[in-house]
Amino acid sequence: MSRIDALLALAVLLAAGPAAAIEPTDFAFGAELATPGSAPIRSLEVPTAVYRDAVSPRLDDLAVFNADGQPVPLRLTHPRTRPGTAPAAVELPAFPLRVQGQSGSRRLEIITRDDGTLIRSDDESATRDRVTAWVVDLGGLESPPTRITLQWQRPTDAGFAGRLAVFAGDDLADWRKLVARAAVADLAADGTRLVRRRIDLPPTEARYLRIDWPTALAEVTLEGVEAGFEPRQAPRPRNWLRPAPRRAADPADGYRLDIGGRFPVDRARLESDARNFVRQLRLESRPTAAAPWQPRARGGAHRLAHDGLVLESDPLAFPPNGDRQWRLALEPDPGRPPVLALGWVAHRLTFVAEGPGPYTLAWGSHESTRHHRPAAGLLAGLDGGERERLAGPATAGEPFALGGAGRLQPPRAPFPWSRVVLWGVLLGGLSILAWMVRQLLRRPPGSGD
């Protein structure tokens, strides 16, 4: 090996430097994890404190250490990343129950097959008799519905609004109340249409539903009932933040909000104490003040009160993200800071109980990333059933300082010794090369070595 090759090899080694292993004190804060029993895999929801102090929007600065201070394999999952599959909606047969003529006597004659399947109800040719209820046959369903959606024909351009009671029964004689006052509406004003067709149902096992049809909806014809189902994977509880907004310097930018952490926000709803309001909103976010704004949600929000009925819009949904800074624009602008509620669901942390306990959950670091998580992919490779059989619970205790809050600040750039050495070696090599060329040029022509 020539002197130049040796110098270059030394420069590469000095520039690369040794690979540093992470330690608990590389992180700002920690919490001791209680792990009762002997399960080899442990699982817990990520504590709220982690989101408040995490540096990375993806929680890359999170680790679990055993009692020897060694990091153990871990995996983070979010319920929105693997949603359960909901069964397809099912059209249900619905049959009217009528009041006969002026007497108001209710006709309850219902014709069924031997298996209980509804064929028809009373004399459906009596179209002048008012419909007071609809009976819905659930017999063809594999599982109870969690909601029903009504389809109707709106009688006038003005529309309607009302409340419905829903009952469940097994024999068409005894009914139990499921929903006391479900709001339905189909209203139109100034070119905007507001429709509320969905009725959420509590869990119940029943063969039939009965939907009472009030006089206020006498002119509305029910044309169909559709059963809906939740995903087979049960949803996790959603938490809500209500950060204080401040008006941006440029009124066109609306309101700025700092949510105080890296929470995986995926819902937004506008709240107001006004009896009636209708707003169009635009929501954007970014991870830092230097990053560009990214659109997250756009849509309408409303609350309308009508004859004792209050109709409110559903929250806007969007993919979860861990941005800390948000911007809200409203049209029309209410002229005062609005109340914006942001919903989020915690990640699930799974780790291998490798080495002696107790284990420490550590978070908050500008230097440590997920690339230090050893063999985390092994957890993803386990079958879901295997993970459930091997997993046990873990519980996080109160947070305490590890490396301290200073770990949350970007570290000072160290003096670039390796770069200085590299340039020194390269310049030294060039000097040697120049000296060798000079010596060759000084030799007289035809001289030997």
| 146 plus 69 within the same structural domain | no
Q: How far apart are CA 381 and CA 65, in angstroms?
A: 22
| 103 plus 221 within the same structural domain | yes
**Count of domains for the chain:** 4
The reported pLDDT for the residue numbered 378 is: 54
pLDDT digits (tens, 9 = 90+) for 392-402: 899 999 999 99
DSSP string for residues in 108-137: --EEE-TTS-EEEES-TT-TTSEEEEEEEE
| 130 plus 70 within the same structural domain | no
| 124 plus 183 within the same structural domain | yes
Residue span of the structural domain in which 369 resides? 27-80+347-402
The reported pLDDT for the residue numbered 8 is: 39
SS3 per residue for 291-340: CCCEEEEEEEEEEEEECCEEEECCCEEEEEECCCEEEEEEECCCCCCCEE
| 249 plus 163 within the same structural domain | no
| 115 plus 217 within the same structural domain | yes
The reported pLDDT for the residue numbered 48 is: 94
412 in any annotated domain: yes
| 351 plus 389 within the same structural domain | yes
Q: How far apart are CA 210 and CA 212, in angstroms?
A: 6
| 244 plus 364 within the same structural domain | no
What does the block give as tokens for 76? 């983070």
263 in any annotated domain: yes
85 in any annotated domain: no
The reported pLDDT for the residue numbered 433 is: 76
Q: Of 192, 207, 228, which closes a domain?
A: 228
Give the dihedral of Cα atoms 129, 133, 138, 144; nearest 10 deg. Answer: 170
| 116 plus 222 within the same structural domain | yes
Q: Which helix (H) or strand (E) holds 228?
A: strand 221-228
SS3 169: strand
366 in any annotated domain: yes
> Which CATH number do you get for residue 132?
2.60.120.260
Q: Facing residues of 188 across strands?
A: 193
| The model's pTM | 0.66
| 317 plus 359 within the same structural domain | no
What does the block give as tokens for 212? 């009472």
101 in any annotated domain: yes
| 246 plus 295 within the same structural domain | yes
Q: Do the bridges between strand 29-34 and strand 359-363 make them parallel or antiparallel, or are there none, so unpaired?
A: antiparallel
Q: How far apart are CA 43 and CA 141, in angstroms?
A: 35
pLDDT along the chain (449 residues), means of 10: 44 44 90 92 93 90 93 83 68 83 52 55 56 86 87 76 89 88 80 81 87 87 87 74 87 86 93 83 90 91 78 87 91 84 92 91 81 52 61 92 85 64 74 73 62
